[in-house]
Amino acid sequence: MPGETKLPKTYLGPSEVAELFMVSPATVRLWASKGELRAAATPGGHRRFLRQDIERFARENNLSLHRRDAATTRVLIVDDNEALTRFLTRQVLSVAPKTEVVCVGDGYGAGRQVEIFRPHVVLLDLMMPGLDGVEVCRQIKADPAHAETRVVAMTGYPSPENRERIIDAGAEACLAKPLDIDDLLAHLRLPNAAASAC
């Protein structure tokens, strides 16, 4: 844009730094506001961080930088059924190549993990205590930082009304439980070979 100063590509935004440290962007902003992590400001007032300052901060605070493989698919499972999340994690998704999985048991934890884990796709149960799947999906899609995150819903109550509510909230599909593993993997865009582990 005219009149805007372009920063070198060596600068990273708060979300990118958060991913390196496996913390939330709010934590990165707090470090910067306290002067612990050196930051530059864009003309629009956004913080940007030099790679060398990030590495120095990591050394000084004995922190590890987490470097993710760009080809890895990050899947966040949100379901309060621990037996199901164990099955999906250990017997289905663990066999899929280049897949990283995190599980949470409620909608409130989902919001935090979307910030920290930055999943490519959220496998989201509709019926959970507290914040239900429809509201979780709405919140993910309403945040510009995560609007492109894919949401695949699942439910033990696959009524037309439930399907319509979650699709209207931004999910791309609503799968019925018990899950058809081939169908699940197809929607997650993971190799069907993983189904043989079931």
pLDDT in tens, 8-22: 446 788 887 887 887
Percentage of the chain beyond pLDDT 90 is: 44
pLDDT at 73: 87
What was the pLDDT predicted at 14?
A: 85
C-alpha–C-alpha distance, residues 197 and 103, integer Å? 20
d(CA 140, CA 128): 16
Which pLDDT score is estimated for 18? 83
Are the C-beta atoms of residues 21 and 14 closer than 8 Å to each other?
no
- DSSP element (H, E) containing 73: strand 73-78
Q: Regarding predicted confidence, which is higher, 14 or 159?
A: 159
Element housing 104 (H / E): strand 99-104
d(CA 99, CA 119): 11
DSSP 137-184: HHHHHHSTTTTT-EEEEEES---HHHHHHHHHTT-SEEEESSP-HHHH
Average pLDDT of the chain, as a whole number:
85
Rounded Cα–Cα distance for residues 46 and 32 (Å): 11
Ordered domains of the chain (ranges, CATH): 11-60 (1.10.1660.10), 73-197 (3.40.50.2300)
Residues 6+ apart with CB under 8 A from 182: 192, 195
191 — pLDDT class (breaks 50, 70, 90): low
